[in-house]
Amino acid sequence: MSWLAICMMGILFTNTISCQGFSRVSIGKYTKAGFSKMCLHGKIAWNRLLICSAKMILKKFKISQGVLLIDDKNHERSKKTEKIHGVHKQKNKKTGGYSSGQNIILLYLVTPYFCLPISFLFYIPDPEISNWAREKILHKRLGKTEKFRSCPERSPNYPKKYELAIQLLEPVQNLSNPV
């Protein structure tokens, strides 16, 4: 219970889900490595925990109206990203170049009083389609006139962003019901 309380305090105080932030909030009681290991190897359903906590907040503050909002965010990461989930090459809007990063699809509940994060999923583009698009661009640059092969079928392991958004909405259908 105390570990979960530290995690919730870390989220509230740092406004992030960060092992480094949790470590600082715990004032040395827990280390960054310990939080990371617990999050990765623990049997905690983080999405379910967010949904249940949102239900409790709605019940406690008697909130009966709100709007669900779906948003996607690109988070740039460092150059060395082999161990980070969902990292892929993405367009940097500021510089016009490319960088390694994650694309996170977020579900928010927007009420007249506050906004709550409800759930999230990582978007990962299909590597076969990405390679096909790269080859097609190279084909055009080389000035080849013959027809390029058609786009491969999308793998069900790599859903599109709107499919992930639908997956996010499914568990919150009964959000207004008490816990």
* pLDDT digits 0-9 by tens, 18-42: 667 777 777 777 777 776 666 666 6
Helix (H, G, I), strand (E, B) or coil at 127: helix
Does 178 have pLDDT greater than 50? no
- Segment 91-109 shows an average pLDDT of 81
Higher pLDDT, 57 or 39: 57
The whole-number pLDDT of residue 72 equals: 83
Question: Taking residues 89-113, what's their average pLDDT?
Answer: 82
* 68 Rama sector, left if φ>0, alpha if ψ -120 to 50, beta otherwise: beta
**Mean pLDDT computed over every residue of the chain:** 78
- Would you say residue 113 has pLDDT above 50? yes
At 100 the three-state DSSP class reads strand
Q: In whole angstroms, how large is the CA radius of gyration of the chain?
A: 20
